[in-house]
Amino acid sequence: MKHLIIITGPTASGKTDLAVNLAEHYGTEIISADSRQIFKEMRIGTAVPDKEVLLRVPHYFIQTRSVNDYYNAFMYETEVISLLENTLFPKYDTVIMCGGSMMYVDAVCNGIDLIPDPDMEIRNNLWQRFNNEGIVPLQEMLLNLDPEYYKICDLNNHKRIIKALEVSIQTGKPYSTFRTGKTKQRSFNIIKVGVNMPREVLHNRINQRVDKMIGEGLVDEARALYPLKHLNSLNTVGYRELFDYFDNKTDLSTAVELIKRNTRRYARKQISWFNGDNNIVWFQPDKVDDIINYCNCKILG
């Protein structure tokens, strides 16, 4: 039996260092499960591992796409499963996956429904309407086009509403008809390890990471990407706040504080999501020996 060890948890919790230690212990390689580190233009703002780290252990899905490319969780699932079955598992009994992108982790573990690629004109029109009129008109549109999904959708989550609307408008079919909800069976064993730490410690680490990003040139990186700010790949914490600064909606110090605040909020969202998965066993990130012993027990059955 082949084994995929998934290291996940909130941002800035020490996942990367742990994953590298485990990969070296098992003599294997790492698959990134970070939906933003995959874009090569977003190095600083997505905390891409240092070159020294990437040289220690081979990583996949790090800076392999352009922000101009359309990419989604279904494509990620397809590519990861192909990589595991055709390349990595023929060489290794155990492979490490590391990242905190909830949908990407879930796609590999359980599968995701095939959703049509978006019509960018439809997407842009919906985003423009949201920016101009707010979320209420989109909620009303969703109720009209897909009342079934309206019943279960988080109506305060504009991204999910826009996703459902663009599919419904493009195909002429309700978005809910594409959602089968069926879990796919995998040919390998999945071991889920979550890493976290006390809230104050995590928040301090997040604040320090943002300061480090600013020191490394995040403002210049975001400024270079500013002409592309309409792209979905750039609608993310660390860039949105700086785009507002470039638009003179705020000053730089406020933008930095908002990056810290919104990153802390995202971390809480990650923790809430992963707490709903009873298959994740949680550890402090420095408990490497305990984590290895746990993984060995799961591997040996």
Above 80 in pLDDT, residue 118? no
Query: 112-121 burial, b if ≥16 CB within 10 A, otherwise e?
Result: beebeebeee
CATH number assigned to the domain covering 120-178: 1.10.20.140
Domain assignments of the chain as residue spans, ordered by start:
3-113+182-300, 120-178
Of residues 228 and 119, which shows the higher confidence score?
228
Mean residue pLDDT across the chain: 94
CATH classification (class only), 3-113+182-300: alpha beta
Q: Are the C-beta atoms of residues 10 and 43 closer than 8 Å to each other?
A: no
277 vs 184: CA distance, rounded Å: 16
Above 90 in pLDDT, residue 17? yes
What global pTM score does this model have? 0.84
